[in-house]
């Protein structure tokens, strides 16, 4: 149980860090930080966002 709690807190810290950096870089779109939400129709938008 302790290990699982530590793991979840670590993931939460990572996501928080990614969002903080994303916000500091200009127009941020959190949906591109979540690989599970990516599909072929969003790939062109993601590439444009990455290169901006």
Each residue's pLDDT tens digit, 22-43 = 888 777 777 777 766 667 777 7
Is there a contact between 24 and 38 (Cβ–Cβ < 8 Å)?
no
Domain segments of the chain as ranges:
2-51
Q: Give the model's pLDDT for residue 31.
A: 74
Residue with tokens 């916000």, as numbered in its chain = 23
**SS3 call for 12:** helix
Give pTM, 2 decimals: 0.50
pLDDT interval class at 18 (50, 70, 90) = confident
Is there a contact between 52 and 27 (Cβ–Cβ < 8 Å)?
yes
């Amino acid at each position: 149980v302790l290990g699982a709690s530590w793991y979840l807190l670590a993931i939460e810290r990572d996501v928080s860090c990614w969002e903080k950096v994303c916000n500091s870089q200009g127009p941020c779109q959190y949906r591109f930080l979540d690989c599970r939400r990516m599909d072929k129709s969003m790939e062109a938008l993601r590439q444009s966002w990455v290169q901006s």
